[in-house]
Structure formats: C-alpha cells, structure tokens
Homo-oligomer: A and B are copies of this chain.
C-alpha cells in the first residue's frame, strides 16, 4: 500500500517566550522549525514545508495559530495528532489535526487574523502572568483609549506603525476591529482584527496607544501618524510578551476549512 500524500491543517498553541519567533532560522529554536522537524520525522524523514497563518515575532505567543503542510503517512488524523502531541514540547502544543483539500493555504486563505495585547494592571504585578502580559500599573484613561481606537478601523496604509526594517512596500491592510476591554479589575486588553498585519504593527500601535492612555499624547496623534506615514512619530514598540495571536478566520468558519 502506497503512502497517501495529503495536506493537513494544524491548529497550534504556543508560549513564545523560548522561541525565536515563528519563522525557521538556522541554529535557532523557532516554532516553524520545531513543527517541521516533528512532521518530517513522522513522514520517514521526508522534508516538509510548514506554512503558518501569522509569522509571530520572537517572544510573541499564540493560542490559535493555524498552519498547514503536506504529510506522507498512513496514519489517520487522530493518530497524527496523537503522535504530534507526544513529539512536540510542552510549550508548543498541537490543538487539532485535520486533513484539508490540497489547495488549502493557512496563510493565503486567512480572511482575517486577531491579535490581543494583555496588560497586567495590578499595582504589585501578578507573578503568574509575567510571561504573558505587560505590567502596567499606571492608570489609563479608558475614554481616550477608546476614542483613539475608534479612529483605526478601515483600509489604510500602516507605514506609520510598521517596523522601519520592514521589506514589504504595500502597507495597505484592512483593519476590521480595534477594541479595548477590562476583562477583570486586574487586566486590560487591546484586541485587533485585520486582513493582515505588518511587522511590529500591533506592538507599535499599543506603544502609541498606551502613551495616549497615560495622557502623554493627544488622541489626535493616531490620525496624524497614519496620515504622515512616518514611523518616527509613533510611540515605542511594546514588548513582545504581552502579545498573542488569538484567532484566524477562514471562509466558512473560523476553525476548519
């Protein structure tokens, strides 16, 4: 019986702290690299290319990353999931494995992606979320933050909030949603959903928005930075550890195609 080569969708969750980001780099521990090595081992050492919906930076987490790759294996999806759970480390977990049609492209087919930035607003700092949140004990002006966020959605050129070394020249992306929430007395979250994100885009937005929330900048700065498309006008890049890829949406449902 010949091994059937097929494409699988992998839903992944990872603690990004000890990864040098998603993208494979020689000699570094990356999410793409660790997943590819495991799949390759499962398929009799046949190399495979793993595509990810979001190329998370070093230190950025994911609760719902989506990836895809070709596998040559007689195992069904459940057995593959079982094998991957046994092979992948505790900080990189396969949530689901599902055979998809050959043309599925986790990155290309994504209709939108959602990122959440988490703030620990306790005075002393919560020792249990130090890896997953930015400690921000200073008071925030929720009204100013919400006003600034309300000006973001739309199809725009995000050059003003993109890393200076970003090689991509078309910086137009459609931001569907930008919201601020306080899920509890100890936390605040900034959530962004867009057709795509540019390098450091969320972290630069958050860095600027936190300056607005602390009254160090006027709400109007957001519009000015967008219009001038000048990264030097925006605030600092917020630390990676507060950021998490929390969802990827596809045509016909967010979880599977």
Contacts and interface: CB of A to CB of B under 8 A. Distances in A.
Contacts of A94: 124
Interface stretch (A125-133, A139-147, A155-163, A171-179): A125-133
Interface stretch (A84-92, A189-197, A214-222): A84-92
Interface in A69-90: 81, 85, 90
A95 interface: yes
B127 A91 contact: yes
The count of identical subunits is 2
A14 interface: yes
A29 interface: no
Contact of A130 (B63, B85, B91, B125): B91
| Residue of A13, A91, A93 with most partner-chain B CB within 10 A | A93
Contact of A13 (B15, B63, B85, B127): B127
Nearest to A85: B124
A92 B128 CA distance: 10
Interface residues of A, number: 22
Interface majority SS (helix, strand, loop, mixed), chain A:
loop
Contacts of A126: 13, 93
Interface string A113-152: 0000000001111111010100000000000000000000
Contact of A92 (B93, B123, B127): B127
A61 interface: yes
Contacts of A81: 124
Contacts of A15: 127-128, 130
Contacts of A91: 127, 130
A79 to B, nearest CB: 14
Nearest to A63: B128
A14 B93 contact: no
A122 B63 CA distance: 13
A61 B128 contact: yes
Contacts of A63: 128
11 contacts: A13-B124, A14-B127, A15-B127, A15-B128, A81-B124, A85-B125, A90-B125, A90-B127, A91-B130, A93-B124, A95-B124
Q: Which are the 10 A-B pairs with shortest beta-carbon distances? A: A93-B124, A15-B127, A90-B130, A91-B127, A93-B127, A93-B125, A95-B124, A13-B127, A14-B127, A85-B124
